[in-house]
Structure 1
């Protein structure tokens, strides 16, 4: 799946493709993570200068991604005038 959606009044892309998601994160030096210290919170990305989430292996990250039926929404880089380099969110697949 890779389709366009309108996040927060802008234009964005949504995908469930693991390689697209991994490539997006790696281009930004981000690691797959969970929002809680015990590693069972919401999926997030941990950026080096804001390392406040619990880093998890990609396998665990994507297992949770699939189990929870999520899609990854991000701002395409080609949108002029938009600081989109780190915009992302995880949403229910049924909404995109």
Structure 2
């Protein structure tokens, strides 16, 4: 669990978990990623499936960029975790991420 900007993974390739907004923003900024949702998944006027628009990585006509405020409002309201990697095992930067609800029975 990464809970602050000072926390670091024990080794490259390790999957990490955070809910910290500053950690999430830093991870995204280092990759040129913008907060986004998948078009068509919105519900009741709020963002649907949360994702990031990462240049050259997650290209899809369904990705719709949103503000950080919208992204974090949905993230916090759904009580999600961000599971991500800083680096691959070989030390190269990783773009791996997914959001997960710790409340899901199959999660």
Aligned length: 89
Residue 23 (structure 1) aligned to one of 10, 21, 26: 26
Highest CA radius of gyration, 1 or 2? 2
Q: Once superposed, what is the RMSD of the aligned Cα atoms?
A: 2.7
Is contact 2:41-2:49 (8 Å) kept?
no
Higher strand share: 1
Q: Which deviates the most, 54-63 or 10-19?
A: 10-19
Q: TM-score, normalised by structure 1?
A: 0.75
* Secondary structure, aligned partner of 1:2: coil
> What stretches of structure 2 of length at least 5 have no aligned partner?
4-12
Higher helix share: 1
